[in-house]
Amino acid sequence: MKQKLADYGTETLLGIHAFIPEKEPDQYLYGLLSDYPNRGGKGFRPGLCIASCKAFGGKLKEAKFSAVALEMLHNAFLIHDDVEDESFYRRKKPTMHEATSRAIAINVGDMFNALSLSPLWRNRDLLGEKLSQRIFLEIQHLITESAEGQALELGWRKDNRCDLTETDYLRMILKKTCWYTCIHPIRIGALIGSKGSVKPDDFNRLGYFMGAAFQIQDDVLNLVGEESAYGKEIGGDIMEGKRTLMLIHLLLHCSASERRFIKGFLKIPILDRNLAEAKTILELMHDYGSITYAKTTSKYLAGAALKEFYSHFSHLEESEDKAFLESIILYMINRDY
């Protein structure tokens, strides 16, 4: 599974480079565009898109431009997300705004967004007008949902919301993560592979369950993973006040005085927060079983994804790519932290 993901990732990375013009201004714009992609992400989105295309009978090259657009948009999101979250590290290196300036990073993200239209444009020659237009609308919906999810999360932080429920959380990550990480990559891949004959809404539940499991596992790893293995500052999410499932679970189960303490911590501007207090919150998450709860929830979600996968993929011929998609889900179910 990891090899296939890496192969599709490499293919996509080469594609991204081909869409980044070698021109001035280089130092504070074009030269920075390849920075995040070159740091080596998982390539999850292009992997899902390409595999879904191939599982439905398409070829890698038919999904390539769409995969490239998805990964370019992902990198644009990451750059803006890091500014918005005031994050210090991304994949073991300083975030773009830390290495340059906030202003420059915002502008680089804007350029990445604009450039991501180029591979979509190239889809016309590859897939014809009709299918390429459908994919274009998929992408516009993807961007819209992501911005809505981001707005929810940022609004919660701004208002220091400490009364959120699991339902709020799941709705937020549906918007912020699932659409762009799983639902649309699978939809787009299946549309291409089937030459437009699938009903893309059939994949929404699969992508939702998969994306939610993925996001929760990602958030758990931020708390308990090894810095060296994961490449993000440990507990960075707590320092940033991110409303994770663990934080929401903790707030729902801790004592009133503990809740006051957490609320006080979250009220302070990000950069003034105290690391020792963040560690106390992490300990509380352990004590109240919030991390175990999140791990379990993510595995249930991955299980639900597997059921959905069988519903919509089992009629397809066996193929390496179909097995690859299944193995991603199985990996999430069996994952050991």
- Contacting residues toward its own copies, per CB under 8 A: 24-25, 27-29, 80, 83-85, 100-104, 106-111, 113-115, 117-118, 121, 129, 137, 140, 143-144, 147-148, 150-152, 154-155, 157-158
Tokens of 35: 């920075």
* Cβ proximity to its own copies, 84 vs 202, nearer residue: 84
Distances (CA, A) of 186 to 37, 48, 85: 21, 6, 28
Q: Which residues pair with 90 in a beta bridge?
A: 93
Task: Tell the smallest beta-carbon distance from residue 86 to its own copies (Å).
Answer: 8
Task: Tell the smallest beta-carbon distance from residue 63 to its own copies (Å).
Answer: 22
* Cβ proximity to its own copies, 6 vs 111, nearer residue: 111
Give the count of beta carbons closer than 10 Å to the beta carbon of residue 201: 9
Task: Tell the smallest beta-carbon distance from residue 163 to its own copies (Å).
Answer: 16
Task: Tell the smallest beta-carbon distance from residue 181 to its own copies (Å).
Answer: 17
Query: Taking Cα atoms as reference points, which of 229, 230, 247 lies closest to residue 238?
Result: 247
Query: Taking Cα atoms as reference points, which of 180, 76, 63 lies closest to residue 120?
Result: 63
* Cβ proximity to its own copies, 111 vs 162, nearer residue: 111
* Cβ proximity to its own copies, 172 vs 198, nearer residue: 172
Task: Tell the smallest beta-carbon distance from residue 201 to its own copies (Å).
Answer: 19
* Cβ proximity to its own copies, 18 vs 151, nearer residue: 151
CA distance 49 to 184: 8
CA distance 262 to 147: 27
Task: Tell the smallest beta-carbon distance from residue 83 to its own copies (Å).
Answer: 6
Whether the Cβ atoms of residue 284 and residue 248 lie closer than 8 Å to each other: no
Tokens of 306: 């597997």
CA distance 91 to 82: 12
- Non-local (6+) Cβ contacts of 79 within 8 A are 36, 96, 97, 105, 106, 108, 109, 112
* Cβ proximity to its own copies, 52 vs 150, nearer residue: 150
* Cβ proximity to its own copies, 68 vs 332, nearer residue: 68
Query: Taking Cα atoms as reference points, which of 132, 138, 250 lies closest to residue 183?
Result: 138
CA distance 233 to 216: 17
Tell me which DSSP letter residue 94 carries: E
Task: Tell the smallest beta-carbon distance from residue 73 to its own copies (Å).
Answer: 10
* Cβ proximity to its own copies, 158 vs 315, nearer residue: 158
Task: Tell the smallest beta-carbon distance from residue 236 to its own copies (Å).
Answer: 15
Tokens 């967004």 belong to 113
